[in-house]
Each structure stands twice: as structure tokens, then as C-alpha cells.
Amino acid sequence: MIRVLIVDDEPLARRGVRVCLRRAADVTVVGEAECSDDALAMIDRLRPDLVFLDVQMPGVDGFGMLAQMHSDAPPLVVFLTAHEAYALKAFDVRAIDYVMKPIDDDRFDEALRLARQRLRERSAERQLAHQRETAAAWEPAQGERWQTRFEIRHGGKMRWVEAGDIDWIEASGDYVTLHVGSRIHMIHASLDSIEQRLDPSRFTRIHRSSIVALDRMQGFSLLPSRDAIITLKDGTELRVSRRFRHRLRLDAIRTL
């Protein structure tokens, strides 16, 4: 069951969110708050999985509230706003989505589907972390090791490509294509296996078919579909799907 907290200073707006949530059998509303102070106290006490958060509230607004939140297990956040101009900032503070007021039922349901998906991913990540901790208790600590170079074959000869030289990686059937400046190299592997071998502090998955080097990203823009486009420093544009958008560190992107 998904535990939801509704935060909005307008009673009618809170009621509208509650009515929308009645259609979801896997959701329970654990509380409502009309200001940031009350909401922060309720998050600490109730531990909701998901917060529907109004941007504009008297006193501390929604962004200010998130800056004050210091939970060891922060809830997912969907912003509620009447101003589309807040959208980019919403993703910059790691909100998973935003819903425009007045609330459209289909758009609300889409945000809720995204929340379900992200919660499933969180659960899987926790299980994997637990498995690793359990395994570490029986194995000597060796530290995390990430692949630093990839073997490629060209003209019958074997060569190496350094991970730090890769701009982005693209799935190509049973192969992946390494984009290295103006050159491309194909190796026989799945994108999932490549992702597991790369340092997540340097690379991130942005689509089911692509991985990008974080230090190559330069620009970011949202699309009407709620997907996004990132621009690399060499001008390459890559699509970011909603499934992976939460992984981007927008503060690391130099805006065009």
C-alpha cells in the first residue's frame, strides 16, 4: 500500500487530490497538511511513501520545505502547481513529476503510475543492497571495482578504449556502440551488463537504449511528453525517458 501525504494550503485543492486518489486501490492517505512546518513534522512521524506538494504556500513554499527536509528515507514528491515555469526547478530538486492545476485526471494518473514505478525501483534497490551487505559479511572486503577500459577489435587487432574517453553508449541489437568523440566502436554486450560495470558517479542510464557520461552533459530541456532532451558538449542531443529522468543530477549540467 502506498502511503500518501497531501500538502496544500487550500482545502479545496487537498480535497481534489484526495478525490483523485480514491480511484487507486493501492493508495491510502495518511494525512493532510496546509503548511510546510506541519508537513515536515508529519513526514517525520508518519513516514509517507509519496507527497503531493503544492509549490506556492504562505511562508515557506514547497521548494523551501524540501530544502528543510532531512529524512533518512525521504518520500517521493509530486509537485502541484498552477505555473508551468516551476517545472524545470521541480526536477532540479529531484521531484519525480509535477501536475498542473486545475488537476486533469489522466495527467494525475500518469504521475501516480510514475510514482508506483519509482517505488518498485526503490524496493528493488533496497533488496539488492541488503543482498550485497549479506554477501559482504561472508567475503573479504575488496571495495567496489568499476571497469575502466573496454576491449575492442578493429581490423583483426585488439585495442582498448578508456571509460573516461566515452561520451555516451547506445544499444544496437546484440551489441552496444561506444561513442568516443568522432569515432564509434561496437562490442558484443547488452546495455544492462555495461551499465552494471560502469561507475555510477561517472555514467548514468537515461533511456532503455542509452547511457551517458555525466561530465559530457551541458544542457537540459523538457518535452511536452514529460520526457526530456539533454545536450552534450559536442552538440549531440539525447532523449531522456521518464523512467530514468530521476537519475539525472541537474546541478551538474551547465545550462545553455
Q: Which domains does the chain have, with CATH numbers?
A: 2-132 (3.40.50.2300), 149-252 (2.40.50.1020)
Which grid cell is 92?
A: 532540479
Residue type, 151: E
Distance (Å, rounded) from C-alpha 65 to C-alpha 62?
5
Across 158-180, average pLDDT: 92
pLDDT band at 153 (very low <50, low <70, confident <90, very high): confident
pLDDT band at 173 (very low <50, low <70, confident <90, very high): confident
Q: Are the C-beta atoms of 144 and 118 separated by less than 8 Å?
A: no
Distance (Å, rounded) from C-alpha 162 to C-alpha 150?
6
Distance (Å, rounded) from C-alpha 184 to C-alpha 8?
50
Q: Which of 20-29, 55-64, 132-141, 162-171 has the lowest mean pLDDT?
A: 132-141
Most confident of 62-66, 126-130, 224-228, 252-256: 62-66
Across 83-97, average pLDDT: 75
**Conformation bin of residue 248: beta by default, left when phi > 0, alpha when psi is -120 to 50:** beta
Q: Report the length, in residues, of the chain.
A: 256
Q: Is the pLDDT of residue 130 over 50?
A: yes
Distance (Å, rounded) from C-alpha 133 to C-alpha 152?
34
What ranges make up the beta strands (E) of 8-139?
A: 27-33, 50-54, 76-81, 97-100
Q: Is the pLDDT of residue 84 over 80?
A: no
Which DSSP symbol is given to 75? P
CA neighbor of 171 nearest in space, from 202, 194, 200, 147: 194
Mean pLDDT of the chain: 86
CA neighbor of 249 nearest in space, from 223, 212, 224: 212
Distance (Å, rounded) from C-alpha 2 to C-alpha 64?
25
Q: Is the pLDDT of residue 246 over 90?
A: no
- Percentage of residues of the chain with pLDDT beyond 90: 54
Across 206-232, average pLDDT: 90
In terms of Cβ atoms closer than 10 Å to its own Cβ (0-12, 13-18, 19+), residue 84 is exposed
Across 209-218, average pLDDT: 93
Q: Is the pLDDT of residue 143 over 50?
A: no
Q: Is the pLDDT of residue 75 over 80?
A: yes
**Conformation bin of residue 218: beta by default, left when phi > 0, alpha when psi is -120 to 50:** alpha
What pLDDT shows up at residue 91? 67
Which grid cell is 237?
A: 542531443
Residue with cell 551487505: 133
Q: Is the pLDDT of residue 254 over 60?
A: no
Across 106-135, average pLDDT: 80
Q: What H or E segment, with its residue span, contains residue 111?
A: helix 105-136
What pLDDT shows up at residue 110? 93
